[in-house]
Amino acid sequence: MNQRYRKGDISCLSGQTVFFDANVLLYLFYPAYSKNTWVPEYSSILSALMRDKINIVVDFMVVSEFVNRILKESHIGECRRRKKSPKKYSYKLFRNSNLCMSQEKNIYAWIINDIFKVCSIHSQPITEADIKSILTARQLDFQDKLIEKVCRDNGFILCTNDTDFKNSNIDILSAHPQLS
């Protein structure tokens, strides 16, 4: 098992790089999550990382998951507002609506104006061999296996609240007690 870090350990991370998972980005940069109990914890972690000038990165997979999760939640919210089941107001219809396009503009603004101000983009090509190596039945979903691989390959510390990573052989920074 690799290192598990809490906010109090951040001063020891000088020279390290922290990879933010999508759930952390949602707590920090998606206003609808503002009432989530994890928001203060991860805001405090972000402040400490920035204070200590720790490099923070994300990649296209995480940005994609951030966008898609918000749009899926918006679709569900719109279904409730319209009192229609997702089968009667399909995601495809929602994706082509003015409401969705407006929401997308907001999301893109958060990414450009907020996320990219604190996170750099890490780009790593994923090969066929890489994909084959992660095609194993495990607790992690496909995207989480890719994130785990990127962190392992680059020596990144994963900042996440996802307890699926509890048995991962990578360094993790988390406020979640099951990940310490």
Q: What is the pLDDT of residues 19-29, one digit of tens each?
A: 999 999 999 99
Distance CA 93, CA 96 (A): 5
Structure tokens at 106: 């907001």
| Residue 180: per-residue pLDDT | 79
Distances (CA, A) of 152 to 22, 25, 103: 17, 20, 34
Tokens standing for residue 140:
């992690």
Is the pLDDT at 86 greater than 80? The verdict is no
pLDDT of residue 43: 97
> Is residue 1 predicted with pLDDT exceeding 70?
no
Q: Is the pTM of this model over 0.75?
A: yes
pLDDT higher at 91 or 159: 159
Q: What is the pLDDT of residue 46?
A: 98
Mean pLDDT of the chain: 93
DSSP-derived secondary structure for the chain: ---EE-GGGGGGGTT-EEEEPHHHHHHHH-GGGTTSTTHHHHHHHHHHHHHTT-EEEE-HHHHHHHHHHHHHHHHHHHHHHHT--TTTS-HHHHHTSHHHHHHHHHHHHHIIIIIHHH-EEP-----HHHHHHH-S--SS-HHHHHHHHHHHHHTPEEE---GGGGG-SS-EE-S-GGG-
* 153 CB neighbour count, 10 Å cutoff: 11
